[in-house]
Structure 1
């Protein structure tokens, strides 16, 4: 699609446009000045061509440069390995997106081509967005549904009525699934005598569609039952995908036995539901449709209601298609697109204002830093630092002087200790002399001071001697 649009833009922006504008926008005679385009007029005309000629497109790609400003709009780029395109999704549409987009995510979008006139940027305006897997399945679902509807496979006149009193019911589902047990429980409760034939089959996975078609064919060959229930329990779109295969749809349409489609829950709708003779909202409801009890009239009414719902669904699908077609035409002329473009321009101005504010703040911060530096040069803190340095030097000199005085005093003390040691009685003891004291500690210097039998103590250089006087010589 991009390759188609770019040549169109190149033609519109070529010099020949000035000479041929009358053929593009009217054949009436006009003055030469009217054929000269302004840039604004050129971008406006190109935007109208893009929006009116291309209409709605589907696009798959990887998200990058995702942005969500306070306005609520989304801006992003969709890219693949070789190209990229700018996109905008306005808040009126992105509110319906069920997931949070992220850079690197693969998505499929429904969008219309446009041009952002102020910059001349080619862009997409996104209406809806889905993850790639679910989106592709949904798109494939819609494509097959429209194709089969066009062939008439959903036509009500091709559907068989259910037998009012079935003689045997066939169930085509998984033999281990909860759906089978729900069907059997309902049939046992409502009509225990009703025979049931089970045709086990896969209901999920790659080979499930072929397996289901073969089971329907086998039931038609055997002709054991006069009604068939085909279905399974609930699940995701991918889990139920085997009931959206064309082979299953055509096999159901070709069945000579009436078929009730009972796939998933009430909200789950598959191609099999459209083709089947009757669509039941759940497997249990299908079992109630084929069984009779005291509320037979109520069941008949329910059956008619389901048939009416199926017909109404088909009618709504046709009307929805017509509505979408009409809506797309109206959207191209809707004033909201002008508002969206103005809103996008407002976001652009917001970005510019934010950048200007940031630049001004940066300049003011730089000026403030210069003033702070000049103030610091004149601050009394610097003088205090100098005085503190001088104080530290004086303190250091005082400590050095004190150390010198202390060293000198220590030297004097050592000299005096040596002199004192020279006259100390301890020095005399070192030379072999001793000191003798009586038991009272009095020094004995004469023999008359002691008597025989008295205890005396003699102090030597190392240790003392205690003795008893045995003789005194005068």
Structure 2
């Protein structure tokens, strides 16, 4: 009854649960250096141990999901650096550390510095993808910043020679290990940017321990890479090695040889591309020439159809066709009347009394004369019609118009001038006559 009325009275379970939440939420992640004691690794795969110093100790647990990344076998008495979160084991009321990562003390200190610098630079945006520069698709020159005696340099050169022997390479030799290495690397990057001799840089070295690669985790190297105007490929160590330079660089290559692969193209690929471009260019030229040739023929045909000579030839051809049809009609008419005469003569011969013969002879002569007169009239009428058609054709011919003293005046653009308002003083005009043309300059009117 008392517990129900007073909410400030805790049960043990509630107390431990709230203390656990308080520890986890308030303390968060901590880094701790201590000596391992009471280490045990049961069949579950989890690790249980205590970390102690000269005056105190704390219980710890590291579950197998995290301890599989530890590169050494922990043992009692070993100094380690751990990254852990504070918690409480509620059944026993023991507070403990849940370890997320563990390094030997020497490596651990370096790893802690690595994480601190990584967080600092990430917060400033040096790792942002938006700041990364794109590698040139067809680099004209490759710069290499590494040791002049290291195996990494010869690996890079071997790959470049195999893939693209014509690609120029400039080597900026520098120290890649030791106390002064970070400054020397930064100076080499700066020197390459000042000279602007190449359009991509490979910065790196071969594999080694964390201490060997530490110069690529220095802040001065990271900021110099970020400030570089030339795209940089980071090629430090092996694929499992990760440095601050890898995060800042525009592209990270797992090995120096892989970096050389990234910045070069296979020479056979270049030859194939060049052949394809040449073929496409030849096709394009042939297509263009064919199209221009077709266009020229179309324009030439249209021009010929509009030329006065073409129209005159067409009218002459029509006149010839009319003349042929007239001649055929006359021949048909004469042939038909000749047949009629023959039939009449035959009938006269069958009925040959003298009187009828004379009368028929008279009628025949009369009809013959009438037929001749009709034919002559028809011929005269046809000739008259033919003459009228010829005169009409001659009248509409542009050449006849010019022969009668007329002329056609055109401006420089070839347009016919129909009004004095269509020309300006000083303009050159061309007047076409029956026997040639005259060029003249327009003078201002008084």
- So what's the TM-score if we normalise by structure 1? 0.51
Aligned to 1:138, what secondary structure does the other structure show?
helix
For the pair 1:181 / 2:157, whether they are aligned, the reply is no
Trace 1:109-128 onto structure 2 (pairs within 5 A). Answer: 109-117=82-90, 119-128=92-101
**How many Å apart are 1:246 and its aligned residue?**
1.2
**How many Å apart are 1:125 and its aligned residue?**
2.8
Match of 1:221 in 2: 194
In structure 2, do the counterparts of structure 1 residues 97 and 118 end up closer, same or farther at CA, with 3 Å as the change threshold?
same
* Residues 155-209 of structure 1: CA deviation (Å, up to 9, x unaligned): 3333333333333322110011011111222222233333322111111222211
For residues 152 and 191 of structure 1, the distance between their equivalents in structure 2, rounded to whole angstroms, comes to 35
Aligned to 1:110, what secondary structure does the other structure show?
strand
Trace 1:350-389 onto structure 2 (pairs within 5 A). Answer: none
In structure 2, do the counterparts of structure 1 residues 186 and 140 end up closer, same or farther at CA, with 3 Å as the change threshold?
same
In structure 2, do the counterparts of structure 1 residues 72 and 299 end up closer, same or farther at CA, with 3 Å as the change threshold?
farther
**How many Å apart are 1:92 and its aligned residue?**
5.5
Residue 289 of structure 1 contacts residue 299 of structure 1 at CA under 8 Å; is this kept in 2?
no
Residue 164 of structure 2 contacts residue 267 of structure 2 at CA under 8 Å; is this kept in 1?
no
Trace 1:444-463 onto structure 2 (pairs within 5 A). Answer: none
Q: Which consecutive residues of structure 2, in runs of 5 or more, have no partner in the other structure?
A: 274-446
- Alignment equivalent of 1:254, drawn from 227, 251, 272: 227
In structure 2, do the counterparts of structure 1 residues 214 and 75 end up closer, same or farther at CA, with 3 Å as the change threshold?
same
In structure 2, do the counterparts of structure 1 residues 292 and 117 end up closer, same or farther at CA, with 3 Å as the change threshold?
closer
**How many Å apart are 1:90 and its aligned residue?**
4.3
Match of 2:174 in 1: 201
**How many Å apart are 1:251 and its aligned residue?**
0.5
* Residues 295-349 of structure 1: CA deviation (Å, up to 9, x unaligned): 547999xxxxxxxxxxxxxxxxxxxxxxxxxxxxxxxxxxxxxxxxxxxxxxxxx
For residues 253 and 114 of structure 2, the distance between their equivalents in structure 1, rounded to whole angstroms, comes to 20
Aligned to 2:152, what secondary structure does the other structure show?
helix
* Paired positions, count: 272
Residue 178 of structure 2 contacts residue 215 of structure 2 at CA under 8 Å; is this kept in 1?
yes
- Alignment equivalent of 2:106, drawn from 120, 123, 133: 133
For residues 71 and 115 of structure 2, the distance between their equivalents in structure 1, rounded to whole angstroms, comes to 20
RMSD over equivalenced CA pairs, Å: 3.1
For the pair 1:158 / 2:127, whether they are aligned, the reply is no
For residues 219 and 201 of structure 2, the distance between their equivalents in structure 1, rounded to whole angstroms, comes to 19
Match of 1:241 in 2: 214
For the pair 1:47 / 2:40, whether they are aligned, the reply is no
Match of 1:430 in 2: none
Aligned to 1:268, what secondary structure does the other structure show?
coil
- Alignment equivalent of 1:88, drawn from 58, 61, 64: 61
In structure 2, do the counterparts of structure 1 residues 86 and 270 end up closer, same or farther at CA, with 3 Å as the change threshold?
same
Trace 1:401-416 onto structure 2 (pairs within 5 A). Answer: none
For residues 236 and 135 of structure 1, the distance between their equivalents in structure 2, rounded to whole angstroms, comes to 13
* Residues 408-438 of structure 1: CA deviation (Å, up to 9, x unaligned): xxxxxxxxxxxxxxxxxxxxxxxxxxxxxxx
Q: Which consecutive residues of structure 1, in runs of 5 or more, have no partner in the other structure?
A: 1-28, 301-474
For the pair 1:62 / 2:35, whether they are aligned, the reply is yes
Match of 2:376 in 1: none
In structure 2, do the counterparts of structure 1 residues 119 and 189 end up closer, same or farther at CA, with 3 Å as the change threshold?
closer
For residues 231 and 127 of structure 2, the distance between their equivalents in structure 1, rounded to whole angstroms, comes to 14
For the pair 1:278 / 2:248, whether they are aligned, the reply is no
Match of 1:100 in 2: 73
Match of 2:163 in 1: 190
For residues 158 and 299 of structure 1, the distance between their equivalents in structure 2, rounded to whole angstroms, comes to 34
* Residues 58-107 of structure 1: CA deviation (Å, up to 9, x unaligned): 32211123234566543322123443222233455545544221122111
For residues 158 and 38 of structure 1, the distance between their equivalents in structure 2, rounded to whole angstroms, comes to 55
